[in-house]
Structure 1
Amino acid sequence: MKVVSAIQPKLQQAEIDLAARRPNSLSAYDLYLRATAHYYAMNREEVEEALRLLYRALEIDPRYSRAASLATVCHTINLMQRWAIDPQSDLKEAARLAQLVLSIDEHDSDTLACVGLAKAYVSGDFDTAIEMVDRAVALNVNSATAWGFRGVTCVYVGQAQEAVCSFERSIRLNPLDPTLFVTYSMLGVAFIDLRRFDEAVAVAMKALRKNKTFGLANRCLAAALAHLGRDAEAKRIVAQILEIEPSFRISDLLSRSGKWPQSYFDGLRRAGLPE
């Protein structure tokens, strides 16, 4: 099974590359693959394009669970990253799509983990979320995706040590994951919750080496540096954050979700990010 888990990401990337070269007459699966490539870029415009392609896929096949589950994640990421123009719309659509996924297939590990994340972040249904992500990794213990979403979910329900174990498992299973910078960033938040600030700095810097403009990685680094009393470095990162996101406010992040650890918010305040 370890061999399979190592080969699977490479096979999917090959399929994505093939779908990108196909003509405009695309199947739902082709559209899903193209959407996945945009999702991997993990910025506002690319996630928006991923959603456009996923909805086209769902027009062709309204019960395509993989397309519906990735769309659920994209709407959730819009909220997490403060990319949502209309947060209530993203909340409602993520909740709707999560229910659609469950009505189609409750036995696929990756889609179940996607829904678990949405249940934690969008719905605040922590007990159901943990039940889903635990079941996801039980269904496929070698799914890097399932372990990664379990990690994010554990961060939101206050199980930081479980989050760390899940992220580390996910990284071991797929060290070439195109969205590894997201995993490192969330691992950093879990380390902050555990007051392991030096480790939070290390993984946030790893994330930024892969994607220097990723908001969560910069915020994680600023918070961890502030907790360590490395004020000059924290202020330099804060300046970078505000250059990328001039409208960033801690209160805005709080209003969209109360699931982040309190120590993370404390670090953001100490770093000097505007309230």
Structure 2
Amino acid sequence: MRYLFQDYVFDTDRRELRRGAEVVSIAPQVFDLLDYLIRNRERVVSKGDLINAIWKGRNVSDAALTTRLNVARTAIGDSGEGQHLIKTLPRKGFRFVGQVQEAADPADGAAGNDVEQWPKQTLALPDKPSIAVLPFENMSGDREQDYFADGMSENIITALSRFSSLFVIARNSSFTYKGKAVDVKQVGRELGVRYVVEGSVRRAGRRVRVTGQLIEAATGIHLWADQFDGELDDIFDLQDRVTERIAVTVDMRLQSEQGRLAQRKPTDKLDAYDCVLRANAVWRHGDREANEEALRLAYKAIELDPHYGAAYARAALCINAKKHPRWMIDPQRETAEAIRLARLAITFGSDDEVALAAAALVLGLLAGELDAAASLVDQAVSLNPNSAFAWSVSGWLRLYMGYHELAIEHQNRAMRLSPRDPNRRIMISMLGAANFYLGRFETAERLTSEAVQLTNGHLATLRLLACCLAHQGKLDQAGSVARRMLSLDPGFRLPGAGEFVPLRRKEDLALYIEGLRLAGIPE
């Protein structure tokens, strides 16, 4: 049985709790507790009922039961103060009060993994033509060529994003539909767009065939479908032709813009381009080994084309990704190398918004050059006002500079451009941090708790959650989070806290360190 409430799917057969496309990690006992409460939501469940059902009648202290309930609430975005889903009735018991839909598991096991079957919130259409490019299907008969088809889709998304008259959904949200049989009407509702592009790529030797079709999401009507053939050496020309055809069909007004948009080839070395595509695909796995492999491929791309801005940017981001989880072996040397790569990304990627935004992130976080970084990311946004990555980086930089309301505004812009982003946890974490520094501790706790669930324990997010709880006087909960954090990072101490958050305002840093101190982080 699957129970649907808010944007969660609680699947008792698979013993999974999902929020959107993300699996929420919860302990088996907490899962059983939620299961019992949801199944018995029509009545008040007593403490004795829970002890008999979950602990099989063993003696359980009130504190232990309260802890499990708090963990269950956190897992589903609730809290002891809000009690929007799990309500405590003093001296009576507990009841699950959220609106629940029941759905039997589909007979088709593959369909059962599709968490997008139940209704989602419909996003309002922007005030200009809006479009989502779904990941192109790899028709080469070789799954190892997926990265090439993905790269084609990504480059078309980037090219369309540069039309200021269009609203283009970011790659990370479009790619949540990869490998799924999609209903374009549903895609239109979930992403809030008027048009959807589907396509395929077939690569055979040096020959490439790209097919594409543009569909009006609300009606499902095909506005055009076409096929483009060429040599691998002409791959960028093929991408330009597909992009222009989409743009012209969506809105004839864009024809005048096409002449003003410089046709750019990121590199003349196709082997270097191939390495960057592979690096991007590998890096998204997110673990340490994937990060090292992506870094190796980025360096190889630089060796093949020393003037390739995107390769320097990818390498810099890979080294930057080592900081928070303490993957750096020689922090001083690796930090200097990341900064060197970021500066070269600026030099050779001056017309590439992703390279500029990546360089801005690295210079802001690792070099502490916040003003220069903010100027860089502004250039990136100017180049491509549809870049969710650039807007998100801008949000983080404004946060560190102390412009908290502006940080929230920019991060919300990024989230609208990429409403189904797998990196949503990072975006939500930034919103939590901005609210924390604004003194909105309860809002910050709610957002940061959600981010913790999505990250399953990202260190930076755990630190922030401990601070949010501590400043509300919830010292027991803050201490529990702090102990979890120290189990993952035993060497973390208060004097080194500032190196992870390059905060310009002294009062922001003081608020952060005081929260960690109250939570029990040692000197």
Give the TM-score of the pair, scaled to structure 1. 0.85
Provide the rounded CA distance (Å) in 1 between the counterparts of 2:337 and 2:390.
Answer: 22
Q: Report SS of the residue matched to 1:213.
A: coil
Letter in 1 for 2:295: L
Matched, 1:239 2:492: no
Matched with 2:516 is 268
Q: 2:487, 2:432 → 1: CA distance?
A: 22
Do the aligned partners of 2:298 and 2:312 also contact (CA within 8 Å) in 1? yes
Change (3 A) 1:6 1:83: same
Can you give the 5+ residue segments of structure 1 that lack an aligned partner in the other structure?
19-25
Shift of 1:223: 0.9
Task: Check 1:87–1:259 CA distance in 2 against 1; reply closer, same or farther (3 A cut).
Answer: farther
Is residue 317–residue 338 contact of structure 2 (8 Å, CA) maintained in 1? yes
Mapped contact 2:445–2:469 kept (Cα < 8 A): yes
Quick one: which amino acid aligns to residue 99 of structure 1? R
Residue 21 of structure 1 corresponds to which residue in structure 2? none
Confirm or deny that 1:8 pairs with 2:171: yes
Shift of 1:175: 2.2
Give the partner amino acid of 1:68: Y
Question: For residues 226 and 150 of structure 1, do their structure 2 counterparts lie closer, same or farther at Cα, with a shift above 3 Å needed?
Answer: same
Aligned ranges for residues 72-151 of structure 1 at < 5 Å?
Answer: 72-151=316-395
Inter-CA distance 49–13: structure 2 relative to 1 (3 Å threshold): farther
Q: How far apart, in 2, do the equivalents of 1:37 and 1:246 lie?
A: 32
One-letter code aligned to 1:162: L
Q: CA deviation at 1:258?
A: 4.1
Structure of greater relative contact order (alpha carbons < 8 Å, 6+ residues apart): 1
Partner in structure 2 of residue 29 of structure 1: 273
SS in structure 2 opposite 1:247? coil
Looking at structure 1, the residues matched to 308 and 480 of structure 2 have their Cα atoms a distance apart, in angstroms, of 45
Counterpart Cα distance in 2 of 1:256 and 1:233: 23
Aligned counterpart, 1:22: none
User: 5 Å matches for 1:216-227?
Assistant: 216-227=460-471
1:251 aligns with one of 491, 495, 514: 495
CA deviations on 1:179-234 (whole Å, 9 max, x unpaired) are 22222222222221111212221221222222212111111111111111111111
AA at the equivalent of 2:371: D
CA distance in 1, matches of 2:386, 2:440: 27
Task: Decide which moves more: 39-48 or 84-93.
Answer: 39-48
Range that drifts further, 249-258 or 129-138: 249-258
How far the C-alpha of 1:52 sits from its partner, in A, is: 2.3
- Deviation, 1:31, is 3.1
Deviation, 1:131, is 1.3
Q: CA deviation at 1:274?
A: 2.0
SS at the partner of 1:94? helix
State the Cα distance separating 1:76 from its structure 2 match: 2.4
Matched, 1:178 2:306: no
CA deviations on 1:98-129 (whole Å, 9 max, x unpaired) are 11111112122222111222222222222211
Identity %: 36
3-state SS of 1:3 partner:
strand
For 1:94 and 1:196, locate their aligned partners in 2 and report how far apart those are by CA, in whole Å.
35
User: What CA distance in whole angstroms lies between the structure 2 residues aligned with 1:264 and 1:200?
Assistant: 13
Q: What is the Cα-based RMSD across aligned positions, in Å?
A: 2.6
Residues 23-62 of structure 1: matches in 2 within 5 Å? Answer: 27-62=271-306
**What is the count of residue pairs matched by the alignment?**
266
Superposed counterparts of 1:130-209, under 5 Å? 130-209=374-453
- Pick the structure with more strand per residue: 2
Change (3 A) 1:119 1:205: same
- SS of 1:259's equivalent in the other structure is coil
What CA deviation, in whole Å up to 9, does each residue of 1:41-97 have, x standing for no partner? 444443333222222222223222222112222222323443322221122112111
**Counterpart AA for 1:3:** I
- Aligned partners of 1:111, 1:145: CA distance in 2, in Å? 10
- Aligned partners of 2:275 and 2:297 also within 8 Å: yes
Of 162-171 and 32-41, deviating more is: 32-41
Change (3 A) 1:197 1:41: farther
Query: Aligned in 2, Cα 1:7/1:258: closer, same or farther, shift over 3 Å?
Result: closer
Matched, 1:68 2:312: yes
Deviates more, 1:252-261 or 1:89-98: 252-261
- The question of whether the paired residues in 1 share the 8 Å contact of 2:309 and 2:347 is answered with no
Structure showing greater radius of gyration is: 2
- The change in CA–CA distance for 1:171 and 1:139 in structure 2 (over 3 A counts) is same
Contact 1:40–1:178, Cα closer than 8 Å, also in 2 = no
- Measured after TM superposition, the shift of residue 12 of structure 1 is 9.9
* Aligned-partner SS, 2:473: coil
Q: Name whichever of 38-47 and 140-149 sits farther off.
A: 38-47
CA distance in 2 between counterparts of 1:43 and 1:248 reads 21
Corresponding residue of 2:155:
none
Deviation track 1:228-268 (CA, whole Å, cap 9, x = no partner) reads: 11111111111111111122223233356643731222211
- Quick one: which amino acid aligns to residue 361 of structure 2? L
CA contact (8 A) 1:35 1:50 kept: yes
